[in-house]
């Protein structure tokens, strides 16, 4: 039987609804990659009685408890104090943690004195293992409950609450620690499969799962742009063979190992070819451009975009002939083709994507349902128009339209390479 | 002392990290509007032992327990079964719920037979109050623990897991139910304050809070575009007087009552004047256009946009003179002015916004730090350029740049009206 893990997320703001708890899913997806699903998560405010109650609940159910939040310098940061109290440990100053705090403070506030309360973050439970915080001042902490405890020898891992500190610490310290602790999940591998639904990915994997049976654990997690596919196993031979199977099964759909999004992959593929991309967006209304420019440095590839949400702007910015719009409608193969052709004049580039469709909830007509999207895509001297039929909410239709267009542009880039 | 509320969110997907738990924040912010912060939330998988453990934990801590998830038709939807078991109630079919299920099924699958398992959703604990589901098939349920229970007379409110079913049910049924149950929070009011940080809103409210002391509860929740400000009180006189204070304190910053975002407010203000808006985005890279087009029907107002992320596209699409870019740089008052002026030719409109800035993490130069943004804004015959100095992450800087520009355009629209 594998060890059980429970999560506790501490902070008033989680319960007030001010903040959506992304830490739980950040922790959850990293544990899933190790083949573990937490048995529970509890959110509690920064109050002694609530933190202690959440601890009892979690220690009773799990061998390892991961907490987030309450390690900062202010009066309501009380996590480690109460956990130390619960485990009968005293707090003492850690020299290395104090140095790291000074370093970070000087970087952010070069001309200000450090307030004494900031050094509270260097106080750690006696005997704790300290996890360095590369993105902030509060160190992470690992302690064990004493032999004499009602729940003896449990591991408690305390992480800072800000997601931009918690995630890097999970990756740099906690995942390696758990890989050592959870002995049967030594080998892990993550793949990103684009262009296919989660159910199709699952179906294609069935023979692989059947072949390795209990020696291989497979998990899935669908995002807007692709399906994350996780393999975990104790055996290096099984892992090697499973990786080969996945690479064969999803030859076209597997993204590069370091691409964490399709937009990233597109920027990478075009960037290494010194090529540029232009966008013309109707139904997606700027979403494709937003996703590209989420990535720092995207200006080297992204030549520019136009958002032609209205018919008039399709004509004025892209030169789409008024009679194409009249005859075939704004949502048509013909308009998508005219948009991507017109884009070549408006913004010269090596690659171009034009999107027009019905994101809903209104706008459907006979034969043109909500979710119908046409993507006109040009790469070098080749232009193609794709029809996408998407479902669900306005937001999801827009996300999937962008993902679909990026995926097809990627295929055209790879095809051009194979032909050359 | 007011009643305590605890939350339980049920579903494997929450713990696998596949889904971020937005239900907790959706519930939390609605309770905050009633002046209540939940004492805890627990996420557990769809398993009997875990659901029962979460129930004991929550019933021990709260008078009212709200659950989400596990009310659907599949084998892993087990919430009401175990709660009925815990409370010693038998399940029985509810006729109205069965009718609603038939109605929804016919609407979504006009030509398919209803599988018998779908009717499992019409089975309800004996004596339960039934909350109609206007957006799906599973009804919500309210039960009370028996007199003889270890935790007698507690209220358990069960809601469906899909956010698009849970949120409308919270608004239509649960909030009214709680308003009756939580007697001292009869009067509530929500305001949206734009253009000010949460700390400034809090500071300005201090005299109001001091004046009404314990008779008025005030809560805040900052979003990317504005601060949500909640008032709750038992007294209609206090509420009336507090509303007047808020309206005086934030005369400029209060959004229209029905605007749930600044983009919504901009579309509303321009729409009722039959006017149009054009966008030129550099550092925000399509985000402003995306936020406008998130809203169905925005095409009536949104004339179109250009994303000029590179210098070359600023010149080719907007006619920004190359020597303005050379002399003052892409991030400058002068470039913002040239962008908004050029936009008038590219996309004729009544209002126009041009944004250029440094979203980071790279790109800072001497005197031009990350977070420096210029917004050129034109409304009718008036053009102004604003300097914004924003902080935090790339994502937050981009969000705040858009919010800042929308807020200033709104001020120009309102000022023009006052002059007229």
Q: Does A227 touch chain B (CB under 8 A)?
A: no
Lowest mean pLDDT among A248-252, A327-331, B183-187: B183-187
Which pLDDT does position A183 carry in this prediction? 66
Q: Does B169 touch chain A (CB under 8 A)?
A: no
Which residues, 6+ apart, have CB-to-CB distance to B65 below 8 Å? B5, B6, B7, B8, B55, B58, B59, B154, B155, B156, B157
Which pLDDT does position B208 carry in this prediction? 94
Q: Please determine, for residue A305, whether its predicted confidence score (pLDDT) is greater than 90.
A: yes
Residue in this structure with the two tokens 């944004």, named with its chain if needed: B355
Residues A108, A101 contacting (CB under 8 angstroms): no
Ordered by where they begin, the domains of chain B are: 5-181 (3.40.980.10), 187-249 (3.30.70.2860), 262-419 (3.90.950.20)
Residues B244, B186 contacting (CB under 8 angstroms): no
Main-chain dihedrals φ then ψ at residue A109, nearest 5 degrees:
-130, 70
> Please, what sign has the CA dihedral across residues A268, A270, A274, A276?
negative
pLDDT tens for A340-378 read 999 999 999 999 999 999 998 888 888 899 999 999 999
Longest dimension (CA), chain A: 83
Q: Does A170 touch chain B (CB under 8 A)?
A: no
Strand partners, B382: B379
CA distance B170 to A344: 50
Which pLDDT does position A223 carry in this prediction? 77
CA distance B144 to B126: 11
CA distance B207 to B3: 28
Which pLDDT does position A227 carry in this prediction? 87
Q: For B60, what's the count of Cα atoms within 13 Å in the CB-facing half-sphere?
A: 11
Hey, is A267 helix, strand or coil? helix
CA distance A71 to A35: 28
Mutate: best of A313, A352, A356, partner B, most B CBs <10 A:
A313
Which pLDDT does position B387 carry in this prediction? 97
Mutate: best of A6, A8, A14, A18, partner B, most B CBs <10 A:
A18
Model confidence at A275, pLDDT cuts 50, 70, 90, reads very high
Q: Does B292 touch chain A (CB under 8 A)?
A: yes
Partner residue facing A286 (CB), from B28, B289, B346: B289
Q: Does A54 touch chain B (CB under 8 A)?
A: yes
Chain B residue numbers touching A44 (CB-CB < 8 A): 39-40
Q: Does B345 touch chain A (CB under 8 A)?
A: no
Partner residue facing A37 (CB), from B12, B164, B220: B12
Q: Does A20 touch chain B (CB under 8 A)?
A: yes
Chain A residue numbers touching B24 (CB-CB < 8 A): 14-15, 17, 20-21, 43
CA A245 to chain centre: 25
Q: Please determine, for residue A1, whether its predicted confidence score (pLDDT) is greater than 60.
A: no
Residue in this structure with the two tokens 């913004």, named with its chain if needed: A347
| pLDDT more than 70, % of chain A | 98
What torsion do the CA atoms of A184, A187, A193, A197 make, to the nearest 10 degrees?
-10
Please give the residue of chain A at the shortest CA–CA distance from B360: A296
Q: Which of B389, B362, B352, B361 is nearest to B374 (CA)?
A: B389
Q: Can you list the residues of chain B whose pLDDT is less than 70? A: 1-2, 183-186, 258
Q: Does B4 touch chain A (CB under 8 A)?
A: no
Contact B296 A362 (CB under 8 A): yes
The shortest C-alpha distance from B150 to chain A (Å) reads 18
pTM, two decimals, is: 0.79
Which pLDDT does position A418 carry in this prediction? 85
Taking each helix axis from N to C end, the angle separating A79-87 and A48-59, rounded to the nearest 10 degrees, works out to 60
Please give the residue of chain A at the shortest CA–CA distance from B198: A18
pLDDT tens for A161-198 read 988 899 999 999 999 999 888 866 667 788 999 988 88
Q: 10 Å Cβ neighbour count for A104?
A: 19
Question: Is the pLDDT higher at B116 or at A316?
Answer: A316
The shortest C-alpha distance from A41 to chain B (Å) reads 5
pLDDT tens for A11-32 read 888 998 878 899 999 999 899 8
Mutate: best of B226, B309, B348, B361, partner A, most A CBs <10 A:
B309
Hey, is A417 helix, strand or coil? helix
User: In this predicted complex, what is the ipTM?
Assistant: 0.77
Residue environment code for A35-74, b if the CB has 16+ CB neighbours within 10 A, otherwise e: bbbbbbbbbbbbeeebbebbbebbbebbbbbbbbbbbbbe
């Amino acid at each position: 039987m594998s060890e059980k893990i429970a999560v506790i997320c501490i902070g008033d703001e989680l319960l007030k609804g001010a903040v959506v708890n992304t830490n739980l899913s950040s922790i959850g997806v990293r544990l899933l990659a190790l083949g573990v699903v937490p048995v529970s998560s509890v959110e509690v405010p920064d109050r002694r009685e609530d933190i202690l109650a959440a601890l009892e609940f979690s220690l009773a159910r799990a061998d390892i408890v991961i907490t987030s939040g309450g390690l900062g310098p202010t009066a309501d940061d009380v996590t480690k104090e109460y956990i130390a109290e619960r485990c009968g440990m005293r707090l003492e100053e850690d020299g290395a943690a104090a140095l790291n705090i000074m370093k970070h403070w000087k970087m952010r506030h070069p001309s200000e004195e450090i307030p004494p309360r900031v050094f509270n973050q260097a106080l750690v439970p006696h005997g704790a293992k300290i996890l360095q915080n590369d993105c902030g001042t509060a160190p992470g902490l690992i302690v064990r409950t004493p032999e004499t405890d009602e729940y003896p020898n449990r591991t408690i891992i305390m992480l800072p609450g800000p997601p931009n500190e918690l995630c890097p610490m999970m990756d740099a310290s906690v995942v390696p620690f758990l890989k050592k602790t959870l002995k049967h999940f030594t080998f892990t591998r993550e793949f990103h499969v684009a262009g296919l639904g989660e159910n199709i990915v699952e179906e294609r994997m069935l023979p692989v799962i059947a072949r390795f049976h209990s020696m291989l654990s497979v998990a899935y997690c669908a995002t807007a742009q692709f399906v994350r596919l996780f393999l975990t196993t104790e055996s290096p031979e099984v892992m090697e063979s499973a990786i080969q199977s996945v690479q064969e099964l999803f030859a076209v759909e597997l993204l590069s190992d370091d691409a964490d999004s399709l937009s990233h992959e597109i920027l990478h593929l075009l960037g290494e070819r010194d090529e540029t991309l232009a966008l013309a967006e109707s139904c997606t209304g700027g979403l494709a451009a937003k996703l590209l420019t989420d990535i720092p440095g995207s200006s080297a590839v992204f030549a520019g975009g136009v958002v032609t949400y209205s018919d008039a702007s399709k004509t004025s910015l892209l030169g789409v002939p008024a009679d194409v719009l009249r005859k075939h409608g704004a949502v048509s193969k013909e308009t998508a083709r005219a948009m991507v052709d017109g884009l070549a004049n408006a913004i010269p580039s090596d690659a171009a994507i034009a999107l027009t469709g019905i994101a809903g909830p209104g706008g459907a007509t006979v034969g043109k349902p909500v979710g119908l999207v046409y993507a006109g895509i040009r790469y070098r001297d080749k232009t193609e128009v794709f029809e996408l039929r998407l479902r669900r909410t306005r937001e999801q239709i827009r996300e999937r339209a962008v993902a679909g267009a990026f995926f097809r542009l990627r295929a055209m880039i790879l095809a051009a390479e194979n032909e050359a």
